[in-house]
Structure formats: C-alpha cells, structure tokens
Amino acid sequence: MERTTSGWINGFAGVAIFAGSLPATRVAVADFPPAFLTSARATIAAALGLTLLLLLRQPRPKVEDLLSLALAALGGVVGFPLLTALALQHVTAAHSIVFLGLLPLCTAIFAVIRGGERPRPLFWLFAVIGASFIVAYAAWGGMASSLQGNLFMLAAIVVCGLGYAEGARLSRTLGGWQVISWSLALSLPIMLPIALMTMPSSFGHVSVSAWLGLGYVSLFSMLLGFVFWYRGLAQGGIAAVGQLQLFQPFMGLGLAAMLLHEKVSWTMLVVTLAAVICVAGAKKYAK
C-alpha cells in the first residue's frame, strides 16, 4: 500500500474515532463530575501510553520539544476534554458537534501563528464567513439560554486547535503516536492527583453507559484516535489529511442521533454543511 493511501486511511480512522468523543462524553458526564472525567481519562490513557513507550524503548524527547508537548497536552489532554465536559452539562452533543466545523480552521490559524505560514487573503474571507455561520446559529438556537455551553465549546475549539497544530508540527520529528504518549506522560503528575481528589465517594449511581463512555474517551479518544490521526498526518501530509476533520461533524451528528436519540434539526445540518464548505475554502487558500 502506498504511503499516501495509508495516510488517508489512518487519518480517516482517527477522525471516525474522534467523532464518537462528544456523544461518549455526553453519556459519561451524566454520572461523572467533569473534572474527574477529564483527569480520569487522561490518567488511564497516560498509563497505557507510558506502557507503550517503555515496551518499545522510545527515546526521551529533547528539552526543546517540551514546550510543544506541553501545548499539545494543554489542548488535547486537558483543555478540550474538560471544556467539552463542562459544555455538555448545558447543551446536547448534537448542538456541540456543530462547533467542530471550526476546528480545522482554528488548527490552520495556529499553524500560521506557530509555523509562520502566510495564507492568501481569500483564506481569511472564508474564515470570517464560516465563523459568522456558527455565531448566527448559536444566537438563533438560543445563545442566551445556553451561553455557558456555547462559550465552553468555543474555548474548547481554540485550545484543541492549538494542541493539534503543536502535535502535528512535533510529529514530523518525534513521531505520531509518541507525541500523544509523551503529552499524556507529561500531564500525568497533574491529572492523577486531580482524579484522586475529585473521585466520587461512591460509584453505585454510575450507569453502565457512563462507564462505557469513560472507557471510550480514555482508550479511543485520548490515545488510539491520536495514534491513527498523527500517523495519518505524517504519512499523507498535514495539510491534505487534515481536511478529513471536515467529516467529523457529520459523523458526530449521526452518532448523537443513533446512540443518544438526540434530535438533529435541519438547521444543525445546514450550519454544519456551511461551516464545512467555508473551512474547505479556507484550507484551499491556506498556502
């Protein structure tokens, strides 16, 4: 199999795994506090990541890589999981998934800031139009009644974009799955104590679905998804394979409808499609 083809397959697998993150978080946060859910998933994934690093005898990252690893951890390990868990206490998974249409654009913006790229003017035109669709949807769908949820989701997209950009940049030299494993390891001394401090006094009230949600976001969203995702970026190219993120909102909306029986309105679909088109246009003129 050609390296480019393998990159697209791995990238698509990563996006498909990530698409289940918000529905799984929505289920888990119903019985677990957001802080515990965030720290527990990171702790579990860190233990698995460290095991892989030790078994495969991976070299330690260089000192100059620590800042990028910290930013990747801030975005993917701590920021996005915590902020989405907080958001999903106020909005549905289907509502939150619409915001994912901004994630590729946000990642590209941080690639400009951190990587020194200079997109064409049309890039910013598509960026403004896409952002306008999201803001208009949030206002029309009841921004005032779910202000916290919308703000948490916007913040989650920002930090996730930063984490993706740093992780993708670092994966060129450190390796794809190694980036997420070392990011998890770097966050473990913080996340483990938080998990112990925020752990519920009893788990008797926790449903089977909540446990399954925790298991999914710990194993798949926090670790395996990044293994496929960063491998795909390394094999097929960050700019090209990164466009696969545009499919994530559609996958997530379908999962929210099938698994959580949440209503997916026509406005959600229209706004998601509009965001995807605008981000696709922005990506086209990014170079």
Quote the CA–CA distance of 127 and 112 in Å, as a whole number. Answer: 13
Write down the pLDDT at residue 130: 79
Crossing angle, helix 266-284 and helix 121-140, to 10 degrees? 170
pLDDT string in tens for the chain (287-residue length): 566 778 888 888 998 898 888 888 888 988 999 889 989 999 999 999 999 999 988 888 888 889 989 998 998 888 888 898 888 888 877 677 778 778 877 877 887 787 666 777 887 888 788 777 776 776 665 555 577 888 898 999 999 988 888 888 888 788 778 999 999 999 999 999 999 999 998 898 899 999 999 999 999 999 999 888 877 777 776 666 777 777 777 777 777 777 777 776 777 778 778 877 877 777 677 66
What would the two tokens of residue 161 be?
């974009």
Write down the pLDDT at residue 139: 62
Host domain of residue 249: 3-284
Domain count of the fold of the chain: 1
> Which conformational region is residue 69 in: left (phi greater than 0), alpha (psi within -120 to 50 degrees), or beta?
alpha
Write down the pLDDT at residue 85: 85
User: Are residues 280 and 107 in contact, defined by beta-carbon separation less than 8 angstroms?
Assistant: no
User: Are residues 113 and 169 in contact, defined by beta-carbon separation less than 8 angstroms?
Assistant: no
Picking from 160, 96, 99, 159, the residue whose alpha carbon sits closest to that of residue 131 is 99
